[in-house]
Each structure stands twice: as structure tokens, then as C-alpha cells.
Amino acid sequence: MAKINNIRPGVEVSFSDKTRTIYPVSLRQLRKLNAVMKEMENSEDDDKSVDLMVEAAQVILSAIEPEIADDPELVEDLLDIKSFNQLISAAMGTDPNA
């Protein structure tokens, strides 16, 4: 279900510890996220791909919960593949549940 702050809608994404409302990223964050996603597309190493997934999640979470985003191991523990895909979708402004 989408929540709305004063400016834009957000989407609830369930992590392993709780549900967080994810808002579309700013253009500044989008630059960082696109760089990580492009590197992810070109990665053939599975471990490197997971590291890049964590990095992408950190970019998104940095505006929501910076204390979590600063800890890559915690981010890795909070996400699974489903929540990662929902996180990316919500950050790009689409509803992953639609």
C-alpha cells in the first residue's frame, strides 16, 4: 500500500526486520544508483553482483535511514531477492506490487 508524504507517494517494502516506506530517489541519488546498476549489468561475478546489490540498496536507504545505509553487512542481512527487487522498483517511482 502506498503512503504519501507531503510531496510524493511512497511504497511499503518488507525487509527482514520491518516494513519501510520507500520513496522515489532524488536526481542526485539517481546518478549514483544508475552508476551502480550499470556496473551490475556488466558484472559476471556472482559475489560482485551481490556486493553491487548491497551498494544499490545503500544508495536508496541513505535518504531514509542513513545509519542502516552506512553498514553494508546490515543491509545485506536485511534484504532478500524479493525485497531488493521491490526496493529498486519503489526507488524508481513504480509500485512493485502493481
Distance (Å, rounded) from C-alpha 85 to C-alpha 45? 19
Q: What pLDDT does 97 receive?
A: 73
Q: What pLDDT does 2 receive?
A: 52
Provide the strand spans (E) within the chain. 2-4, 9-14, 19-22
pTM: 0.88
User: In 76-96, which positions are buried (b, 16+ CB within 10 angstroms) versus exposed (e)?
Assistant: eebbeeebbebbbbbbeeeeb
Condensed to tens digits (0 to 9), the pLDDT of residues 3-57 reads 555 677 789 999 999 999 999 999 999 999 999 999 999 989 999 999 999 999 9
Condensed to tens digits (0 to 9), the pLDDT of residues 76-89 reads 999 999 999 999 99
